[in-house]
Structures are given as C-alpha cells and as structure tokens.
Chain A
C-alpha cells in the first residue's frame, strides 16, 4: 500500500494551550482598525484590474483599450483577436498552461478567424487564407500539457512579428479622443493587412520550426542559409492540398529524411521544389 511509503507528517496543535491565541488571532479587532495588507491577486493581471477599477469617484479612469464600444466592429474584432493571440502566447510561456483557458482562447480565435475567412471569401482572394487557417490554431495544441517540452523558444520568437500590429492597435485606442480622427485611416490599413500579416506570422512559426527542429536542418548544414531569413522562408508556399496542413507535411518530411530518402520526399512535396533549386544552385 502506497501510504506506507509516505513520511509521516504530523501537524499537530496543542489545543488547550493555543486556543486562546487562536481565538484572538481570529477575532476581528474592530476597535483598533488595523489596516491590513491586502494581497494583490496574481501579479500583473491583478495590478491591471485594480489600477483600472479602483480609482476614486471623480477621477477619470484610463480608458480601457477595448472598452470603447464605439469602435468599428472590425477593429473591435481585431483587438479581441490580438489579445487572444497574446494570451495564447503567454499561455505557452508557462511551464504548464491551463488547458481550460487555452481551449477557450483557441475556440474564440477559431470563431473570429472563421468569421474573417467568411468575409475574406466575399471580398478577398481566398487563396492565402486557406492553408494558414489550418495551421494556426492547431499549432498551439501539440505544445500543451502532454508534451510541454515540445514548446521551444523559437516558436515563441517566431510569433513576435505579430507585436507591431498589436501595439499599433492598442496605441490607437489608448490615445482616446485625440486619435479618434486618425481611426478611419487606420481601420482601412489594418483591415487590409490584418489577415495576411496575422496568418503570415503563423507561417513563419511553422517554417522556422521546420528548419530548426527537424533533422532536415543537418542537410542544410553546409549551405549558407543566412541570406534566407525567416521572413523569406515564410513566403515559400507550403503544400496546402495536404489535409493535415503543416504538421502532416512535417511528419512526412521527417520520416522520409530518417529513411534517407529526403530527395524523394522533397520532390514529392513539389511545392518545395524551388528549395531544391536553391540547393543545387548554391
């Protein structure tokens, strides 16, 4: 039985002796009106909320970046989306993120992406959205609890191209009335680039890990790849027709390479043909 292995931990209390101190400790001393140190709830979040909400009456509160309900809908959505990505990214930085929270965030992200895709189908060429939608949300899940070690720092770094976008939108809203006149132009610009820059960053995610995490890297070892930075690589088209998106491609690629038939594998993925061209040329 397992319990025999436990070191006996005895937490005991001399009841009679301590009862008086216990009582006095427990009773609220109203007369002395001691100001007790209040504990701030977890770090930044608590601080954020308290600073935002506890200002006294008459003090104008700092406008929350998303409290402005007059924001045009696409901007609101973009803001929620950005926060969502930001939170998911923070989730990943924790040793063991809350699965509950990640799932709620990912579902929200999916919902917004689907909405954007539907809009995109009517007004944007659908091509760039297709494969990246597959890659985006699922990409987060393999990094959740069961395989936390699979969450390498490069992945987090790879998401960083998103930040300028996030900051830009926050600045706009935090600026309040002054910037309100600027909003319309921003809205157009952001709308136009939001979807592809967002998804573009996900492609970077995949392609960076593609190059750093896999045995394929060894093959590129003696080739100077410095000229192809990650943004260039992200432009490389990926096999969109594969049902499982990027991960399938990666699995195939890695298993092929371990069989020593990389060449065959890559020619299979004819979308990657021009990687080979580059290889041959150099």
Chain B
C-alpha cells in the first residue's frame, strides 16, 4: 500500500525536454549511474547526454536535486564497412556505467558493432607557464627562451571533458543488443544476436567468446539472443534471453564456452492463447536481475514476468502490460509495432517494476500489493510539480470519463526505455525525443 501511494504522489517536479526535433534525437537508451548522481541518455544520432543531479540547497528546498545537463558528447559516428559494403549506424544501443572509483566517471556505450569506454572528468585548473611552448600550445622560438620557469596550475572555468579511453571493436558480426559490466568490475560482456563476448576493460584487442548459438548451417537458425546480463553479485553467473521466450543461466566456472546452460527458464505456452503471432510476442525484449540477485525480470510484447532463480518451470509473477492489445496483434504486426523492444526496470528495493507501453503510457506494478498503475509522460498533461494522474485504457464498448479507448491509442508514441534511480523514487522515462524525470512528491 505504501508503495502504491508513493506512485500516486510521484510528480513531475522537473520535467525536461531536450528541444529535440529530428530522427537523430530519438532517445535510444537511459541509464542512472550506481549512485544516482548522474543520468545518461544515448540517442539515434550517436550522442550521449549526461545529466547531473543538483546538490540540495537549503534556500530552495523545492528544487530538490534537479538534474541538469552535465556533459554532451558524440560517442559514435556513422561508419562504413568497406569490406561488407555496409553502413554502420551511430545509434547508441546501450549505456552502462562503471562503478565510480575516483573523481572521474566512466561509462560504456555501444552501437551495433563497437563498444567504447568513455571517461567523463572535470577540470577547473590549467597549467600555465611552459618553457617550450606558449599559452596556445605553439612551440616557442628557442632564441626567445632566456629564462627557465616552473609551470603553475591556474584556476579556470570548470570544464567537463569526455574522452574515449578504450574502443572494443571487430568482435561482433551481428548487432550488439546489450552490454553488461561484471561485478568484478574488471570484465564486461557484449551480446549480439548469436554470440556473447567477454572482455577485460583494459584489453581491447582480445575478447573471449562465451556463448555462440550460431548453427553451422544458417538455414537451421530459428532462435536469436535478445539480451544478456551479469548477476549483480556473482561474477561467474550471467543470463541471456532468447527470441523463443526462454532464459538461460550460465556459470562461467563450468566451462570456458558456456554452450551448456546451468538453468533454463521457460513457461509452457498457453494453448488457449495460441495465434499466428505467439512466437513473435513471446520473444523476450529485455532481461534484468533484481538488485538482490534473487529474481529475474523479463519483458515480452504483452507481459512482464518475474522469475525466481530457484524455479525454472514457470515465472513467479506475470503482469499484463497492455493485454487489450491481444485482439489487435494483426494490426500491430502489419504496422511492425509487434517488433518493438520494450525494456523493464526494478525500483531500488525490488518491490516495484516499471515498463513502457504505447501512447506515451508507462506501467508500474507493485509486487507486494499486486496493484498497478498506468501513467502518461506527456507535455500536455503534466505541469512541473503536478501530480501525475493515473490513466486508464477502456477495453469494452462503454468509455467512461477520463478513459481512453484502445482505438485512439497513438502507437507512434512508445515508451521503450526507462530507468529507476538506484535507491530513490526517481524515474527517467524516454518518450521518443523527450526525457521526463519524475520523482516522489516532496512533502
């Protein structure tokens, strides 16, 4: 109950908008860092925008911890593979933060083929008074150097610099769909449609293939990997989900190549729901370990499921995200929406899960009270510091006031990417080219 009332109180105390207007501006990933101080977004144009939470100030308590732009940089550029005659899109598929170990921040960003490690650091001093070069960096005429001096650090305007520190490339034939940093903080994995590679964060010219489901004969291919993630605490354990709706848990201690899973999570198909689209809608678009490491959450087209790592036969909980679309599958197939890849996230205490839907709606499910709420991320319906009103989609013929009919949902407005602050009730919701940040009501 408490959680539920929390969500009703969640307001848009700071609603943001990037002033975006083109295809390149569509947000393709959102991720908080491990402290929640920073929030990164990636977009189709290959840019990464990092927001930083403002320090709380006693003078302006209502402006508690708003997020402001901290750094913007071009992470990936469009490329051309001359060997294959292929264009490689610059779109950022995923961003993952590394735990902070010093004053600088590190994040991994990936497009379809290449993972990059970026360092984001602040600089508020600059060295001045070099002997061999002048202030602009030009070499001085040795004839003019008459005295030696000691360079000094002078204060300057604070600069936030983003520099690429590592580029992990040439290891993926297919499209990278996920990256995950291991809890040993030394390795990470990158996953494409058919393979998972393990990298050391320091080594860019070598990676280890830990999963390979590519059949020798590609004609026999019926399944692809859709997402993968490391266990939050056990560095030897990871899971990957497939387009057939199953999840495999692998133990890297068992063998170097984890072709044999140690656990296989799958729910038998309900024959009463069988349709032409059963296969497509059962494809898992995202898999996430709970913070505790005890549960897994998976998202398929119509549902989000919570699995207990100790029960492989069926999910512990199944939540309907937008079951009213079940009768619309044919149209959604026709207009390609059925292939949309919705992601899902846990709240800090693993008691609430959140995932997106259409019409700029997103859903929250309270696992304890089994209550759920539909909220809308839109400029029209929300003012700063206003409380979000729960929305309701009307399924039957009779539409009540404040309800929206299934037929008037806008399927071009979809919320695919969301993020939840690691321990506070602050959420970030990407709606096409807008980023909305909502937080608990401040009392």
Q: Which residues of A contact B (CB under 8 A)?
A: 1-3, 6, 8-19, 22-23, 25-28, 30, 36-42, 45-46, 48-50, 52-57, 61, 64-67, 69, 76-77, 79-80, 83, 87, 95-96, 98-101, 103-104, 106-108, 110-112, 137-138, 141-142, 144-146, 148-149, 247
Shortest beta-carbon distance from A135 to chain B in Å: 10
CB atoms of A30 and B219 under 8 A apart: no
* Residue B173 at the chain A interface, CB threshold 8 Å: yes
Complex Cα–Cα for A170 and B101 (A): 60
CB atoms of B218 and A95 under 8 A apart: no
* In the complex, residue of chain B having the shortest beta-carbon distance to the beta carbon of A170: B334
* Selected contact of B218 from candidates A15, A46, A77, A142, CB within 8 Å: A142
Provide the residues of chain A in CB contact with B276, threshold 8 Å.
76-77, 80, 108, 111-112
Of B103-111, B221-229, B316-324, the stretch lying at the interface with chain A is B221-229
Provide the residues of chain A in CB contact with B129, threshold 8 Å.
none
* Residue B263 at the chain A interface, CB threshold 8 Å: no
CB atoms of B194 and A99 under 8 A apart: yes
CB atoms of B25 and A104 under 8 A apart: no
* In the complex, residue of chain B having the shortest beta-carbon distance to the beta carbon of A99: B193
Complex Cα–Cα for A55 and B407 (A): 9
* Selected contact of A41 from candidates B68, B157, B432, CB within 8 Å: B432
Complex Cα–Cα for A145 and B218 (A): 10
Interface size class of B (residues with CB under 8 A): 35 or more
Provide the residues of chain A in CB contact with B328, threshold 8 Å.
67
CB atoms of B280 and A64 under 8 A apart: no
Complex Cα–Cα for A74 and B6 (A): 50
* In the complex, residue of chain A having the shortest beta-carbon distance to the beta carbon of B203: A1
Complex Cα–Cα for A26 and B224 (A): 39
Provide the residues of chain B in CB contact with A57, threshold 8 Å.
405, 408
Given A15-B157, A25-B69, A141-B219, 19 new contacts (CB under 8 A): A2-B167, A3-B166, A10-B163, A15-B159, A19-B68, A22-B69, A25-B18, A28-B15, A30-B384, A41-B412, A41-B414, A52-B411, A61-B407, A76-B276, A96-B86, A104-B243, A104-B280, A107-B222, A247-B219
CB atoms of B243 and A103 under 8 A apart: yes
CB atoms of A64 and B330 under 8 A apart: yes
* Residue B26 at the chain A interface, CB threshold 8 Å: yes
Complex A-B: 8 CB contacts under 8 Å: A9-B74, A19-B68, A28-B16, A39-B25, A54-B408, A67-B328, A80-B330, A104-B339
* Selected contact of A98 from candidates B19, B173, B175, CB within 8 Å: B175
